[in-house]
Amino acid sequence: MTKAIKKTKPQKTKNTRSRMKKVTKRPDSLKPVPFRFCAGCGHGILHRLIAEVIDELGMREKTIGFAPVGCAVFAYDYFNFDVIETPHGRPPAVATAIKRLLPDRLVFTYQGDGDLAAIGTAEIIHAAARGENFSVIFLNNATYGMTGGQMAPTTLIGQVTTTTVKGRHETAGHPIRISEMIATLDGAGFICRTSMDTAKGVLATKKAIKKAFQYQLDGKGFNLVEVLSPCPTDWWMSAEESIVWMKEKMIPAFPLGVIKDSLNDK
């Protein structure tokens, strides 16, 4: 007579990894390639936040981004959706055409302070004045990062750059608060400024991007999120020092918060 085989309970594995819950993953809207930004740079964080928001909105296959000149020039290498390279401040001009032709797409421009507030001042001002229904993600690092740290329109008074070696003097112009300027235009709907100097600031930045993208999807018109971001390489600082500099110098010059929300303001 054969013995009945006694059923045993499956033993609990000692391998804790098999019981670990996955709480985060690389967003589908980012390609599986490493960023080439410097250590401590904010561009990589901002790319990831945008990708997370697009995933959460389920818009990956309906998104068209516009990349600038500057350190974000390779955005098409990183984002896993259509990106059109429109250098020298022209993203708002081309985004205007694309959004008008394809109104069901999520259209956004990604621009640095040199691209948006110097070479492309005309394009951004007129797109806002026209109330174009797309989103602008504007990374302000107070310098021309890509080309070696020259003075930008956002460079602070006293800030040393390769073209203001004794610190920026008033005769070289005061820093331009472009978001406040754009907010004066009737066509501009939602304008806000955030900072990536803390984890809380990074989360606030993501929330602002989501609000801006939703604003566009609801057809409410022109919206812009300015994001203060560290550039340790061209500030000649360590990553840690650059965060302190942002808190002490940059945020007082560029106050954070919602600058305009025309629908709620009314």
Q: Which residues bind ligand TPP (CB under 6 A)?
A: 68-72, 88, 112-115, 119, 139, 141, 143-147, 152
Three-class SS of residue 220? coil
Q: Which two tokens stand for residue 183?
A: 């907010």
| Min separation Cβ 193 and ligand TPP, Å | 16
Reduced to 3 states (helix: H, G, I; strand: E, B; else coil), residue 136 is strand
Half-sphere exposure of 111 (CA within 13 A, CB side): 30
Give the nearer residue to ligand TPP in terms of CB position, either 43 or 210. Answer: 43
CB 194 within 8 A of CB 227: yes
DSSP string, 62-104: GEEEEE-SSTTTTHHHHBSSEEEE-TTT-HHHHHHHHHHH-TT
Residues in region 118-177 near Mg ion by CB under 5 A: 141, 145
**Region from 34-42, 85-93, 205-213, 249-257 binding ligand SF4, contact rule CB under 6 A:** 34-42
> Strand pairing partners for 53?
none
Question: Does residue 231 touch ligand SF4 according to CB under 6 A?
Answer: yes
**Spatial distance between the Cα atoms of 230 and 250, rounded to a whole number of angstroms:** 10
Q: Which of 93, 124, 136, 146 is the binder for ligand SF4 (CB under 6 A)? A: 146
Residue among 29, 37, 49, 119 that touches ligand SF4 (CB under 6 A): 37
Using the minimum distance from each CB to ligand SF4, give the nearer residue, 80 or 143. Answer: 143
- Asked if residues 208 and 194 have their Cβ atoms less than 8 Å apart, the reply is yes
How many whole angstroms separate alpha carbon 50 and alpha carbon 22? Answer: 21
Q: Which residue, 156 or 221, has its beta carbon nearer to ligand TPP?
A: 156
Q: Let me know: does 108 contact 134? Beta carbons within 8 Å.
A: yes
Q: Closer to ligand TPP at the Cβ: 27 or 114?
A: 114
Q: Which CB sits closer to Mg ion, 132 or 234?
A: 234
> CB under 5 to 8 A by kind: which of ligand SF4, Mg ion, ligand TPP, none does 115 bind?
ligand TPP
For ligand SF4, the closer of residues 75 and 107 by Cβ is: 75
Q: Which residues bind Mg ion (CB under 5 A)?
A: 112-113, 141, 145
Site for ligand SF4, rule CB under 6 A: 37-38, 41, 43, 71, 141, 145-146, 231-234
